[in-house]
């Protein structure tokens, strides 16, 4: 089964050389900077009010088997902001494999200073992994490919720390902390369920009465894959419009099992988000590859819609820009 994703054509090989040879990674988003719940359960309740967001990402458009990801997250705070609760639903499809995950999140916030808080969050739930043996690009001569569909379930748990002041934040989290042992005989999901670690930080820098600069970074670590990092530069105008860019690449750190320059998972993204109404946020990200896939003009698109369950006046009086 480890060879289930074989050569479906040389373009498809390029896609899977990046996403599978190094071990299956959790879905990536460019707009996590607007919703930290995607990468850290300690973020739950941070905004101080109810918030619902849905994100759809179409990666490497028109390449066969390229990832397509859909998520819905919701979180709220309680006990005067010292507790956070959340729920996350994710569906991710890449080639013949589909991953579906549902998680419930709890976070407890400790006030460490006049405007500083440290939050510890835990998410728990379950994941389903499905392999479609009838996928049109499967190798018909591969005896390890099953007939029909195979699926398996496993428990899942994530944990994270999130520290913030009014102008700075930092977080560290670990994903897929349990459940791998249940998959030791299920190669279709074992690589997906490796530990993932995330380290992130950012700050708000006022540039004037109506413009604020927000630099941030994210580092991802997964065993058997290059360490990847994002460097983000965002500008907030009139407390209404976000515009900025992100650069994503990796550090090899001894991982040399990639052909050619496929180890170089470099891309650049343009991001925008607007408060369309008092409660509605709409975001868009356009990712362009700067590695071997650049030649084929297969970029990625990501759309998000978020809705505050409280009035905008409440949000402005207690701004949550992280």
Q: What is the pLDDT of residues 39-77, one digit of tens each?
A: 999 999 998 889 999 999 988 777 777 889 999 999 999
Q: Would the pLDDT of 279 be above 70? A: yes
* Mean pLDDT score, 195-214: 94
What pTM was estimated for this model as a whole? 0.84
Domain 42-308 - what CATH class? mainly beta
User: Is the pLDDT confidence value at 115 over 90?
Assistant: no
Least confident of 4-13, 35-44, 94-103, 167-176: 4-13
Domain boundaries, the chain: 42-308
Average pLDDT over residues 275-291: 89
- Rounded to an integer, the average pLDDT of 92-111 is 91
Residue 306 buriedness (CB in 10 A; 0-12 / 13-18 / 19+): buried
Cα end-to-end distance, the chain, whole Å:
42
* Segment 221-246, tens digit of pLDDT: 987 778 899 999 999 999 999 999 99
Of 6 and 122, the structure prediction assigns the larger pLDDT to: 122
Angle formed at CA 48 by CA 69 and CA 215, multiple of 5 degrees? 60
Lowest pLDDT segment from 15-19, 22-26, 153-157: 15-19
More confident residue, 110 or 19: 110
User: What CA–CA distances, in Å, run from 53 to 31, 70, 195?
Assistant: 11, 11, 25
């Amino acid at each position: 089964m480890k060879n289930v994703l074989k050569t479906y054509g040389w373009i498809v090989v390029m896609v899977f050389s990046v996403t599978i040879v190094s071990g299956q990674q959790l879905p990536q988003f460019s707009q996590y900077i607007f919703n930290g719940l995607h990468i850290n359960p300690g973020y739950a309740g941070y905004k101080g009010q109810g918030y619902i967001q849905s994100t759809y990402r179409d990666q490497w458009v028109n390449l066969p088997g390229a990832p397509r990801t859909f998520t819905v997250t919701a979180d709220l705070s309680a006990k005067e902001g010292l507790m956070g609760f959340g729920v996350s639903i994710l569906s991710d499809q890449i080639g013949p494999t589909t991953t579906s995950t549902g998680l419930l999140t709890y976070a407890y916030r400790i006030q460490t200073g006049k405007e500083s808080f440290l939050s510890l969050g835990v998410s728990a739930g379950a994941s389903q992994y499905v392999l479609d043996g009838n996928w049109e690009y499967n190798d018909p001569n591969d005896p390890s490919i099953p007939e029909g569909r195979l699926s398996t379930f496993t428990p899942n748990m994530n944990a994270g720390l999130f520290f913030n002041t009014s102008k700075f934040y930092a977080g560290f989290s670990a994903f897929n902390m349990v459940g791998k042992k249940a998959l030791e005989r299920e190669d279709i999901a074992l690589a997906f369920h490796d530990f993932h670690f995330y380290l992130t930080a950012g700050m708000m820098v006022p540039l004037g009465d109506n413009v604020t600069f927000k630099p941030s970074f994210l580092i991802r670590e997964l065993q058997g894959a290059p360490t990847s990092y994002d460097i983000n530069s965002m500008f907030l105008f009139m407390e209404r419009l976000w515009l900025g860019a992100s650069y994503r690449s990796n550090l090899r750190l001894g991982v040399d099992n990639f052909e050619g320059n496929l180890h170089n998972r470099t891309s650049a993204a343009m991001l925008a988000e607007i408060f369309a109404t008092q409660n509605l946020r709409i975001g868009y990200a356009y990712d362009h590859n700067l590695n071997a896939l650049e030649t084929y003009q297969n970029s990625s698109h990501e759309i998000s819609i978020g809705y505050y369950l409280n009035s905008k006046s409440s949000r402005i009086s207690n701004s949550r820009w992280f």
